[in-house]
Amino acid sequence: MTALLEAYDLVKHFPVRDAIGRKRGAVHAVDGVSLSVAAGETLAIVGESGCGKSTLGRLLLGLIPPDEGQVRFGGEELTQLSPAALRARRRDMQMIFQDPYASLDPRQTVQDAVAEPLRLHRIVPRAGEIARVASLLTRVGLSPEHARRWPHEFSGGQRQRVAIARALASGPRLILGDEPVSALDVSVQAQVIELLRGLISEMGLAFILISHDLGVVRQIADRVAVMYLGRIVEEGPSEALLAAPRHPYTRALRAAVPGGGRRAAPVSGDVPSPINPPSGCRFHTRCPHVEDICRSVVPPLADGVACHLADRLPPFAAVVDRQPNARLVRLQSRFRPQGDAA
Amino acid sequence: MTPALAVTGLTVSFATDRGVFRAVDGLSFSVAPGETLAIVGESGCGKSVSSLAIMGLLEGNARVGGDLRLAGQDLLAMTPEARRKLRGADMAMIFQEPMTSLNPAFCAGNQIAEVLALHRGLSRHAAYEEAIRALDQVRIPDARRRAAQYPHQLSGGMRQRVMIAMALACRPKLLIADEPTTALDVTVQAQILELLDELKRETGTAIVLITHDLGVVADHAEQVVVMYAGRAVETAPGEAIFTHPEHPYTIGLLGAAPRLDGPRGRLASIEGTVPDPMHRPPGCGFAPRCPFAVAECTVTDPALTMLAPGHAAACLLAPLEAA
């Protein structure tokens, strides 16, 4: 597979200033990240708050310039494009945000919201707009009559469907979803996950999912990159990575997900501040396996994991969650659309 | 033993321009000292309104009915003044976002000390010393230094620990925790839930845990109440809600949550939306979305029926299938 989007050694620091404007340090939001996504592939970027995953997303779409490094989309270097050329490129790269209440304009009808990208990129003549919006709305599980309504008339799940229709309008090749289902109730979340999964595979889209929720990630993503304080600490195929995580941080993340009975909290303390992050391996302040080398030397991402001790760590003690029993599986199958195999 | 909290037939309705809206309809449960009861449900199911009604924190347009007893004391028969004295002393509450519950202008220690001075009549100095002990109890390292810090200097997990320290400072009989870990990262969530488990064993405080996360419930609650559209649709021991759920809504919810192991299949989909609370359909409120529903479900309103010790469901078809 050839990569559609490639990023090399991205660095983004935000200066921190005191009350009178003196520079007092920098937030190391993204610190040397390389990754790639192919057409038809879903890559998840996972991490806790402040790990830099949203900043990385913005860098990948060229919404903010990196301090160092490059982003290539379809072989073209985004950082070299003129502002006008970059805007034209946006047609190919769209974004879905966490909160559809905030990302939709309350004074725009659904018709106008979904038609806006069509106009902006002159995709269909004005006369064809209504039909195009109707087909987009149908595609995301809404009905063409919804076009005349206003965002406030919709539930959270329906609003997110409108946001997805709007993202699809320009016929993008890549979509980035920044926590696209995190604000939704679990039953609605399941519907939107299934919708996204279907659209991605039918349309052959490249999809970048930014999420803190490993369950959602497993449901949608082919590959996962785990971030901690601005760096990727582990990367690999999602199924293998979640079943047998190698980096101590990924292991902690996996073990912390509730669902398998009372377990001791896997790590202590909070994520340190990204202003003046820890030296060496940034996880060393919380890592149960820490050794001297971890405090001073930055571990490179090699063979999918950035840990000095990767070869020597004990095997991951598999986390066993409650399994649904046969009766529950049978009963739950009634909640799937008829004739839908698993 | 007298339960720490006994709720019987709780109803909460609000007078609105469109008419009377019943947010909670006949909710009953009880929690023993040192036990956790979880109330689970999606947005708008009435779980937060129930907890505010128990605390006596609802606005004037709310009408609260039923019977609420805190260690045997009839809460609804009390004067507002008497209930105010209970809050912070015998019953306390923590919320989702600790930053909005803490006063940014006071250091952590003084905020806890204020509670102690008010309810236990301690002197300023004694209250502050006791506040440091309270921070120590919630496993905040270097408690004396932390006590002097302001909320903005603390991380999210640390702030929630301060809230817990404040809530438990007067050794309440009941702690209501409304989505206490929803705003926290998953590694910090694990720490806070573990802390609450330890504290309830140490202090005997009963906990009512309001959450939308069924994984949290099964790991940390002795009893569960699943709410849908203002009613309890299933009540069960914590473990049983996973191993043997009886209400179709519970079954659908469990199937809709993405899992981290097992086959990566399609998620269960609960079609449709919650009924409009102003126009509740006759019969079972879940019937329009229920794949098991039969004709009678749209006519007869099911009552919560005991199926096994401690396990009840409000479904005409329960038990759904003999296991």
Could you tell me which chain A residue has the CA closest to the CA of B184? A49
In a domain, B318, yes or no: no
In a domain, B273, yes or no: yes
* pLDDT value, residue A160: 93
Q: With an 8 Å Cβ cutoff, is B320 touching chain A?
A: yes
Report, as an integer, the average pLDDT of A247-251.
95
Q: Are A160 and A189 in contact (CB under 8 A)?
A: no
Report, as an integer, the average pLDDT of B209-229.
91
Residue where one domain finishes, among candidates B152, B169, B186:
B169
* pLDDT value, residue B92: 95
> Rounded to an integer, what distance in angstroms lies between the CA atom of residue B205 and that of residue B225?
19
In a domain, A153, yes or no: no
Q: How far is CA B147 from CA B94, B128, B133, B169, in A?
A: 19, 9, 10, 14
Domain shared by B25 and B61, yes or no: yes
| B 267-306 residues inside an 8 A Cβ radius of A | 267-270, 273, 291-292
In a domain, B323, yes or no: no
In a domain, A155, yes or no: no
Chain segment B99-119, per-residue pLDDT in tens? 888 999 999 999 999 999 999
Rounded to 5 degrees, what are φ and ψ at B92?
Answer: -140, 165
In a domain, B53, yes or no: yes
Domain shared by B40 and B118, yes or no: no
In a domain, A200, yes or no: yes
Domain shared by B190 and B284, yes or no: yes
In a domain, A218, yes or no: yes
* pLDDT value, residue B114: 94
Q: With an 8 Å Cβ cutoff, is A201 touching chain B?
A: no
Q: Are B38 and B217 in contact (CB under 8 A)?
A: yes
Domain shared by B39 and B157, yes or no: no
Residue whose C-alpha is closest to residue B179's, from B205, B152, B139, B216: B216
Q: With an 8 Å Cβ cutoff, is A289 touching chain B?
A: no
Report, as an integer, the average pLDDT of A199-215.
93
In a domain, B319, yes or no: no
> Rounded to an integer, what distance in angstroms lies between the CA atom of residue A147 and that of residue A145?
5
Q: Are B202 and B195 in contact (CB under 8 A)?
A: no
Domain shared by B12 and B79, yes or no: yes
Q: In which band, very low, low, confident or very high, does the pLDDT at B16 lie, cut at 50, 70 and 90?
A: confident
Domain shared by B68 and B111, yes or no: no
> Rounded to an integer, what distance in angstroms lies between the CA atom of residue A250 and that of residue A248?
6
User: How many angstroms from the chain centroid is the CA of residue A59?
Assistant: 13
Residues spanned by the domain of B177: 5-90+170-313
Report, as an integer, the average pLDDT of A62-78.
93
Considering chain B, what percentage of its residues have pLDDT values greater than 70? 99
Report, as an integer, the average pLDDT of B232-252.
93
> Rounded to an integer, what distance in angstroms lies between the CA atom of residue B43 and that of residue B28?
20
Domain shared by B161 and B185, yes or no: no
Longest dimension (CA), chain A: 68
> Rounded to an integer, what distance in angstroms lies between the CA atom of residue A223 and that of residue A251?
17
In a domain, A144, yes or no: no
Domain shared by B56 and B203, yes or no: yes
Interchain CB distance below 8 Å, B220 and A262: yes
**A268, exposed or middle or buried, with CB in 10 Å at 0-12, 13-18, 19+?**
middle
* Alpha carbon of B70: minimum distance to chain A alpha carbons (Å): 28
CB nearest to A186's CB, from B190, B256, B259: B256
Q: Residue A146: is its pLDDT beyond 80?
A: yes
Q: In which band, very low, low, confident or very high, does the pLDDT at A256 lie, cut at 50, 70 and 90?
A: confident
Count: domains in chain B: 2
Q: In which band, very low, low, confident or very high, does the pLDDT at B196 lie, cut at 50, 70 and 90?
A: very high
In a domain, A167, yes or no: no
Q: Which of A158-172, A268-282, B287-301 has the lowest mean pLDDT?
A: A268-282
Q: Residue A174: is its pLDDT beyond 80?
A: yes
Q: Are A159 and A99 in contact (CB under 8 A)?
A: no
Count: domains in chain A: 1
CB neighbour list of residue B154: distance below 8 Å, 6 or more residues apart: B108, B146, B162
Q: Which residues pair with A209 in a beta bridge?
A: A44, A177
Highest-confidence range of A21-30, A162-171, B180-189, by mean pLDDT?
Answer: A162-171
Chain segment A302-335, per-residue pLDDT in tens? 999 999 999 999 988 877 777 788 899 899 989 8
Q: In which band, very low, low, confident or very high, does the pLDDT at A135 lie, cut at 50, 70 and 90?
A: very high
Chain segment B140-187, per-residue pLDDT in tens? 988 999 999 999 998 888 999 999 999 999 999 999 999 998 888 888
In a domain, B257, yes or no: yes
CATH at B249: 3.40.50.300
Interchain CB distance below 8 Å, B266 and A194: yes
* pLDDT value, residue B311: 96
Domain shared by B205 and B301, yes or no: yes
Interchain CB distance below 8 Å, B194 and A265: yes
> Rounded to an integer, what distance in angstroms lies between the CA atom of residue B176 and that of residue B95?
9
Could you tell me which chain B residue has the CA closest to the CA of A251? B187
> Rounded to an integer, what distance in angstroms lies between the CA atom of residue A198 and that of residue A220?
10
* pLDDT value, residue B25: 93
Q: Are A25 and A274 in contact (CB under 8 A)?
A: no
| B 183-222 residues inside an 8 A Cβ radius of A | 185-191, 193-194, 197, 212-216, 218-220
Residue where one domain finishes, among candidates B141, B169, B197:
B169
**Optimal mutation site among B142, B159, B213, B259, interface A, most CBs of chain A within 10 A:** B259
User: How many angstroms from the chain centroid is the CA of residue A312?
Assistant: 31
Q: With an 8 Å Cβ cutoff, is A325 touching chain B?
A: yes
Highest-confidence range of A8-12, B41-45, B177-181, by mean pLDDT?
Answer: A8-12
In a domain, A151, yes or no: no
In a domain, A331, yes or no: yes
Q: In which band, very low, low, confident or very high, does the pLDDT at A33 lie, cut at 50, 70 and 90?
A: very high
Q: Which helix (H) or strand (E) holds A37?
A: strand A23-38
Domain shared by B189 and B279, yes or no: yes
Domain shared by B214 and B261, yes or no: yes
Could you tell me which chain A residue has the CA closest to the CA of B44? A185
Q: Residue A340: is its pLDDT beyond 60?
A: no
Q: Which helix (H) or strand (E) holds B24?
A: strand B19-31
Residues spanned by the domain of A33: 1-104+172-342
Domain shared by B126 and B67, yes or no: no
CATH at A231: 3.40.50.300
Residue where one domain finishes, among candidates B145, B169, B193:
B169
* pLDDT value, residue A49: 83
Q: Residue B204: is its pLDDT beyond 80?
A: yes
Alpha helix positions (H), B7-72: 47-55
